[in-house]
């Protein structure tokens, strides 16, 4: 459980920027140490101090981001209105292949079955992954005949509908159409 929380924390954009900044500073410190350390030992101490001062704000930012974000799909992360919009989008773009019950059984008997998009089997397949990963996967692969043809808001509305059909509770705020913010919300089969 702690590893997945750490992974979610590191997915934040400000943390990612801090990590890149820290990496650049580490390389810079290494280069300086090779040339200067032999001549002046105090440079080593200053370099370590600068490096440590860089890490502290990054750790605080990571804690702030993780505290503000909902942790799982059971926290009421979508609204009923958003799920209703998703139902309409699903009926037009997804329902033919994935079935009107979201169980992967297409409405056309001549079509091949597809992965389910709701309930127990879907939750088992996506257990421990984030809604950000689900959004990215859906954008890249769906609809199969025209991937990426929906707006991010439409994809997120469909995800809200999938969660609704899976009996996740609705809340007061809508799912954001932002993969980075969705990365903090983990799919869990049971509460």
Per-residue tokens: 161: 């509908």
Cβ contact 55:62 at 8 Å: no
Picking from 50, 68, 86, the residue at the C-terminal end of a domain is: 68
- Domain total for the chain? 2
Convert the pLDDT of each residue in 68-112 to its tens digit: 555 999 999 999 999 999 999 999 999 999 999 999 999 888 999
- Mapped onto helix, strand or coil, the DSSP state of residue 72 is strand
94, 153: one domain: yes
- Mapped onto helix, strand or coil, the DSSP state of residue 31 is helix
Tokens 């954008």 found at? 139
Answer yes or no: is pLDDT of 18 > 90: no
40, 94: one domain: no
Assigned domain for 191 exists: no
- Backbone φ, ψ for residue 163 (5° rounding): -65, -40
Q: Alpha helices of 11-40 — where are they, by DSSP H? A: 13-36
Tokens 């059984």 found at? 105
Answer yes or no: is pLDDT of 181 > 70: yes
Tokens 């890490």 found at? 55
Picking from 15, 33, 68, the residue at the C-terminal end of a domain is: 68
Assigned domain for 95 exists: yes
Per-residue tokens: 104: 């992967």
Q: Alpha helices of the chain — where are they, by DSSP H? A: 2-10, 13-36, 41-68, 80-93, 95-98, 119-126, 131-141, 152-165, 179-182
pLDDT band for position 8 (50/70/90)?
very low
77, 132: one domain: yes
Assigned domain for 187 exists: no
| Residue numbers of the domain that contains 55 | 2-68
Mean pLDDT, rounded, of the chain: 78
pLDDT of residue 59: 47
Q: Using the 8-state DSSP alphabet, how is residue 130 labeled? A: B
pLDDT of residue 38: 45
96, 111: one domain: yes
Convert the pLDDT of each residue in 120-176 to its tens digit: 999 999 999 999 999 999 999 999 999 999 999 999 999 999 999 999 999 999 999
77, 62: one domain: no
pLDDT of residue 23: 52
Task: Name, in order, each residue with C-beta under 8 angstroms of 34's C-beta and a sequence gap of 6 or more.
Answer: none
36, 22: one domain: yes
- pTM > 0.85: yes or no: no
Assigned domain for 189 exists: no
């Amino acid at each position: 459980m702690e590893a997945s929380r750490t992974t979610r924390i590191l997915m934040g954009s400000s943390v990612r920027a801090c990590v890149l900044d820290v990496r650049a500073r580490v390389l810079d410190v290494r280069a300086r140490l090779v040339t200067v350390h032999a001549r002046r030992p105090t440079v080593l101490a200053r370099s370590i101090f600068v490096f440590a001062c860089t890490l502290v704000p990054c750790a605080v930012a990571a804690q702030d981001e993780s505290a503000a974000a909902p942790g799982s799909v059971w926290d009421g992360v979508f609204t009923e209105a958003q799920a209703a919009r998703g139902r309409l989008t699903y009926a037009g773009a997804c329902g033919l292949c994935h079935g009107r019950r979201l169980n992967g059984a297409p409405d056309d008997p001549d079509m091949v079955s597809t992965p389910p998009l709701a309930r127990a089997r879907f939750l088992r397949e996506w257990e421990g992954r984030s809604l950000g990963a689900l959004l990215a996967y859906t954008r890249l692969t769906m609809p199969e005949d025209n991937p990426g043809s929906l707006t991010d808001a439409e994809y997120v509305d469909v995800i809200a509908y999938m969660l609704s059909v899976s009996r996740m509770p609705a809340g007061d705020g809508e799912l954001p159409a932002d993969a980075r913010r969705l990365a903090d919300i983990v799919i869990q089969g049971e509460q």
